[in-house]
Amino acid sequence: MGMQSIKLVRYRSEYLEPMLTLHRSAGIGLTIDISQYDEEADLRAIEQVYLHNGGEFLIGLLNGTVIAMGGFQRLSEDTAELRRMRIRKDLQDQGYGSQLLQALEQMALRSGINKFSFETAKARSLTLEFYRKHGYQETGSGFYHGVETVHFSKVLDEQVM
């Protein structure tokens, strides 16, 4: 576990640049056939895509520095897609991702969502392991702009409260 817990706050525009920097550092090593601008469209419109649409987007701060991000985009009354989960590389595997995921699951449940689904790159074995460890089930596979992906989902219940 990390020595201290991160402070989770709802996204505000002042976090845009450090958030984009964190996002870009996570993508290194994967080549996708889409421009950076298009790939980041939702991140430049967090309010519209996530917050004003029944979803949520959190920024994780450690001593005032953005080190984590993630949110969920509401798909229907009771389902949402978990999106953009990132933890700064040098701080991974210290419990911060679990802290962020738990917070998002709790917020989703409170807003009437009982299922998270998403896809993630198959090449990222540590990421796959992380979600399996947290009770996510593989539901299929696919491709996202040329990258092979694994589809995951989880039924949220009171256990995460």
pLDDT tens per residue, range 78-93: 999 999 999 999 999 9
Length of the chain: 161
CA separation for the pair 111, 146 (Å, rounded): 34
* Within-domain flag for 1: no
pTM metric for this prediction:
0.92
Give the domain extent around 50. 7-115
Residue 117 CA to residue 82 CA, distance in Å, equals: 6
Q: pLDDT digit string (tens) for 117-136?
A: 999 999 889 999 999 999 99
Q: How many independent structural domains does the chain possess?
A: 1
Task: Give the CATH number, domain containing residue 86.
Answer: 3.40.630.30
- pLDDT of res. 31: 67
